[in-house]
Chains A and B, each alone.
Chain A
């Protein structure tokens, strides 16, 4: 069974990675902690569930691609609106206003979801059912879980490539290092800020879209992933991609094995690990002082 638990751990980690990656990009590049990130995740979930319900059960590849794309676009657009209307005036303001305005955005988006999609939960398990399962170590394992891991891995590699190899990524990292200097060098801050925010938001949407085939979309579905993503970011170090990756793995595996060996107490166990890491290395695994 150990192998299955490990696989489950990777599966949890895949979601955490996608969610915390978006959070981490926004935090790292712009220095803003987006408390509405969980709400963007929920948008992804609801839009994907709607699309899957609309398209029925055939042509599963098409459904998955369409639902994920629509979810990313919806979450990305919401992120864009949030950035341009609410966050834009906040860059020069103190931390408390930045946090509070994203908190306000969270409340507004949550209620807008309720307004648009209604209060009831939405089931959309078609992709999960259609993919079936494979035999691994004498037990069956849902193929969909492996698919999610692959998506997270590909997304991670793409982002890593974007940040380290492309012009946009280099400019984003320059902003992360020194905002003023980057501006002085003529880097288009406005454009890149929106871009980074949309990128982070659409990653949240993607992970919301990937979760609905396994659990229904409900109001407030983004709250727990958001807290988990916080723990990942704290463990890995603020705004570090490597940190988000390693942090997700640690949290994912801890959660998977914690559920088996310490049922009901997997959350406190996670915190215990986070606390140990913070006492040993206060800035997180890959954080800068």
Chain B
């Protein structure tokens, strides 16, 4: 308890949380919705970083689990519109992403490094192919509309935009906070330490009793679950889901978010996801050649600022302190 009470990080968390509570007063509807998708992506990026930073595994197909979450919500909306409640939708999303990440995780954790990346990428394209080809079931490339859900029996009788800038912001903030704290707890748990041991030295971890493959598999499943959660909460913000989120280009953008924020800091991916959301919005709205902008900033980032935004601040801070 003491460890948490007298911790500057804990105070910073509380301060940021309070600031976020009052954010809707300062942001317009449009920017608040952008911020909401940014928050959803932030959960996604943290889930991805659990594997990258703590497991040393670079997934290039995390969009697949994000898509599983979104389609868990979408399929419920499509086939059981009468039972379309937020809590049930989240459960469906978690169930679907759990099933897929257990299955895929079993296959991919037998590999590390580049083989792991290629495999996760290829498997995400399998999900993409299924989502597109099984159009009778999933709506194909047209996707599925996601309406306003009920929330524990309460019905929101309002327009979509009102729902998004009003109650949904606080629901999403709650989910985001819970996800962040849970992931932080996982990272600092014995399991998290075992995962880091498998990253640093596979053989040594095995020798001191960590079950390397199993640890990686569990980490993969946890990461997939949180990715699914992110996809689920994002689908309500976007109001419409398409198979594109399972395309590997989106998975590449996830990696970009994580590195943009700085993957060596736990909170880095959050910063990265928010900045990336605005960067992409700005690029798309200002030019037809937005990929050129995203690509160039990506290249510059990798070449000049490998620690990402938080890494850059940290080294600046350390330099000033000296």
Residue positions of A touching B, CB distance < 8 A: 27, 31, 33, 35, 86, 89-90, 93, 95-97, 99-101, 103-108, 110-112, 114-115, 223, 227, 230-231, 233-234, 238, 264-265, 267-268, 271, 274-275, 278-279, 282
Contacts and interface: CB of A to CB of B under 8 A. Distances in A.
24 contacts: A33-B114, A95-B117, A96-B52, A100-B252, A101-B298, A101-B302, A101-B303, A103-B256, A104-B299, A107-B291, A107-B292, A107-B294, A107-B295, A108-B292, A111-B292, A111-B295, A115-B292, A227-B122, A227-B125, A231-B122, A267-B133, A271-B122, A271-B123, A275-B107
Contacts of B119: 234, 278
Interface in B272-290: 288-290
Interface of B is mostly: helix
A35 B125 CA distance: 14
Contacts of B294: 104, 107
Contact of A108 (B113, B121, B130, B296): B296
A99 B306 contact: no
A89 B301 CA distance: 13
B133 to A, nearest CB: 5
Top 7 nearest A-B pairs (CB, nearest first) are A107-B295, A104-B298, A108-B295, A111-B292, A267-B129, A104-B299, A107-B291
B115 interface: yes
Most B CB contacts (10 A, CB to CB) among A33, A99, A104, A264 go to A104
Nearest to B60: A99
Interface in B32-74: 52, 58, 60
A238 B114 contact: yes
Contacts of A104: 294-296, 298-299, 302
B248 A106 contact: no
Contacts of B126: 267-268, 271
B176 interface: no
A95 B252 CA distance: 13
A106 B111 CA distance: 25
Contacts of A115: 289, 292
A135 B102 CA distance: 50
Nearest to B116: A95
Contacts of B296: 104, 108
Interface of B: 52, 58, 60, 107, 110-111, 113-115, 117-119, 121-123, 125-126, 129-130, 133, 248-249, 252, 255-256, 259, 263, 288-292, 294-296, 298-299, 302-303, 306
A107 B290 CA distance: 9
B130 A268 contact: yes
A228 B299 CA distance: 26
Contacts of B255: 96, 99-100, 103
A33 B118 contact: yes
Contacts of A96: 52, 58, 255, 259, 263
B298 A103 contact: yes
A266 to B, nearest CB: 9
A89 B306 CA distance: 12
A106 B302 contact: no
Contact of B252 (A33, A35, A267, A279): A35
Contacts of B118: 33, 230, 233-234
A97 B302 contact: yes
A95 B113 contact: yes
Nearest to A238: B115
A104 B301 CA distance: 10
Given A89-B303, A100-B298, A111 B129 contact: no
A111 B287 CA distance: 11
A227 B295 contact: no
A99 B114 CA distance: 9
Nearest to A220: B249
A100 B302 contact: yes
Contacts of B123: 271
Contacts of A89: 303
Contacts of A95: 58, 113-114, 117
B295 A106 contact: yes
A197 B298 CA distance: 21
Nearest to A271: B126
B311 to A, nearest CB: 12
A115 B107 CA distance: 41
Given A96-B255, A265-B133, A267-B129, A234 B291 contact: no
B191 to A, nearest CB: 23
Given A96-B255, A114-B289, 17 more contacts: A96-B58, A96-B263, A99-B114, A99-B255, A100-B252, A100-B255, A100-B256, A103-B256, A104-B294, A105-B295, A108-B292, A110-B291, A111-B291, A238-B114, A264-B133, A268-B126, A268-B129
Contacts of A230: 118, 121-122
B292 A112 contact: yes
A33 B292 contact: no
B114 A31 contact: yes
A223 B289 CA distance: 18
Most A CB contacts (10 A, CB to CB) among B121, B252, B256, B295 go to B295
